[in-house]
A and B are shown apart, each in its own frame.
Chain A
Amino acid sequence: MLNAAIMAAEEGSSPLAPNWWEFLVTLAGFAVLMFIVIKYVMPAFEKTFAARTEAIEGGIAKAEAAQAQANAALDEYKQQLVEARTEANRIREEARAEGAQILADLKEKAAAESARISEQAHVQIEAERQAAVVSLRAEVGTLATDLASRIVGESLADDARSARVIDRFLADLETSSQSAGAAK
């Protein structure tokens, strides 16, 4: 069973009484382990931890930079879009104004043209009238002379004959003026 000799040999010693060799072996063991941990284990693990942290944080930083860049690009595009819209609006406004201007110009020009044409017509009419008046005057003179000579050529005493001559003259005059109006 259990070794009675050992029990007898160590009987009486307190359970709290240390074996000092064990004390020393434990100290030495701890020291050796500690040395290995400080010298090899911990630096290796810490290095990996740092490298990993670096990798993760580097990745995060990179992603953040990319995000910022993308945001900047988006802002720029938005800005450009707004600018383009403004530009387009401006151009449209300008075109509209220009169109209105052109329309107004054309209207003005047309009005001027029509005024000019009507003016010209007036002038022409006036000229024709003048010409008519001139020719009429000449004609009236001739006619008057003609008439007078006819009247004179006939017997002045014969009232009935002179009256007939005058009537005939007037009828002639009428027909000539009517034919002139129809020609016009």
Chain B
Amino acid sequence: MIALALPAATTEEGFVAPTIEDTHYRDILPWGDHYGVWFDPGFGKQMLMVILSVVLIATFFLVASRRQQLVPGKMQFLGESAYGFVRNSIGKDIIGGRDFLKYVPWLFTAFFFVLVNNIFGAIPFLQLPSFSHPGSAYAIAAIFYILWVGIGLKKHGLRYFKLAVVPSGVPWYILPIVVPIEIISNFIVRPVTHSLRLFATMLAGHLIVTLAGSAIEYMVSTGNILLQGTSVLVLVGAVAMYMLEALIMILQAYVFTLLAAIYIEGALHADAH
């Protein structure tokens, strides 16, 4: 009955589903237009939130790391646990060795930058995961792309490219097939998936919540008692999706950092693979 009522109503009233463009809010401060710059949108909510995340993370960790004591207080314990998690569970376990500490600031910054920006999507009124905008996701993936290629070049010189694309122990007659696959997978697919994974999961979660929200709004505004009743089900589903999305937000921050660590490790020990 519900399922029958819904399509009938949409065709009559013309329910317009929100699109991806709805995740791009109106600019707060338009710029670029005046100069004919090819990237013309101005200063928007997403940029504000990226800056907010930097302020929040920096403030928290500056406060937590101030006045360090051997026996930590509450704030210090929280900060230390957070730092220790990235340092040991990601940095030490994945990269290992004596020099993993050099890469911990990258991983640490990435993890909390992504985590806080993702969680913004679950906070009422903010409600926009910054990385649901592709620009941000490309940026942070690009940082790590450049980082691990740079590490590989610094460690192994130009030989790094050979080490990265020519797997050892493969018969020569298979190399013509394997080498292009390795080039594509290591240097093209890897950074693309690294960024798109984050961007797509955030965008999808954000869209679902947005879609559910606008659907509820539409159903309630129709005045149809059946649709209004059905909106409760949508609300329940939306809350469940919201919870799932919150989980994915944390998970994706971890996955992003973990992959970054794996790529760094791969570049460091390219000769061992």
Contact = CB atoms under 8 A, between A and B. Distances in A.
Interface of A: 1-3, 6-7, 10-11, 13, 15-27, 29-30, 32-34, 36-38, 40-42, 44-49, 51-52, 55
B24 A6 contact: yes
B50 A29 contact: yes
B47 A25 contact: yes
B178 interface: no
B41 interface: yes
23 contacts: A1-B218, A2-B16, A13-B21, A16-B196, A17-B134, A18-B133, A18-B138, A19-B39, A19-B41, A20-B38, A21-B39, A21-B47, A27-B142, A29-B50, A29-B51, A29-B53, A29-B54, A33-B54, A36-B62, A41-B61, A42-B83, A46-B101, A55-B70
B140 A42 contact: no
Interface string B32-44: 1000001101111
B182 interface: no
State the majority secondary structure of interface residues on B: helix
Indicate the member of B69, B110, B136 with the most A CB atoms within 10 Å: B136
B139 A26 contact: yes
B109 interface: yes
A52 B72 CA distance: 10
- Cβ-closest 7 pairs across A and B: A22-B135, A20-B39, A18-B135, A44-B65, A26-B139, A23-B135, A26-B136
Contacts of B257: none
B22 A21 contact: no
Contacts, number: 146
A32 B58 contact: yes
A52 B70 contact: yes
Q: Interface size for chain B: under 10, 10 to 19, 20 to 34, or 35 or more residues? A: 35 or more
B21 A10 contact: yes
Contacts of B142: 27
Interface of B: 16, 18-22, 24-26, 31-32, 38-39, 41-44, 46-47, 50-51, 53-54, 57-58, 61-62, 64-66, 68-70, 72, 76, 79-80, 83-84, 87, 101, 104-106, 108-110, 112-113, 130, 133-136, 138-140, 142-143, 196, 203, 214, 217-218
B22 A7 contact: yes
B266 to A, nearest CB: 21
Nearest to A54: B70
B135 to A, nearest CB: 3
A45 B109 CA distance: 14
A30 B143 contact: yes
Nearest to A5: B26
Given A10-B24, A17-B134, A30 B140 contact: yes
A23 B133 CA distance: 9
Contacts of A13: 21
Contacts of B43: 21
Nearest to B80: A45
A57 to B, nearest CB: 13
Contact of B51 (A25, A47, A49, A51): A25
Given A6-B24, A18-B133, A33-B58, A27 B139 contact: yes
Given A25-B51, A40-B65, A2 B135 contact: no
Contacts of A3: 22, 26
Contact of A6 (B25, B68, B135): B25
Contacts of B51: 25, 29
Nearest to A9: B21
A11 to B, nearest CB: 6
Given A2-B18, A33-B54, A42-B104, A20 B135 contact: yes
A66 to B, nearest CB: 21
A41 B65 contact: yes
A48 B80 CA distance: 9
Contacts of B22: 2-3, 6-7
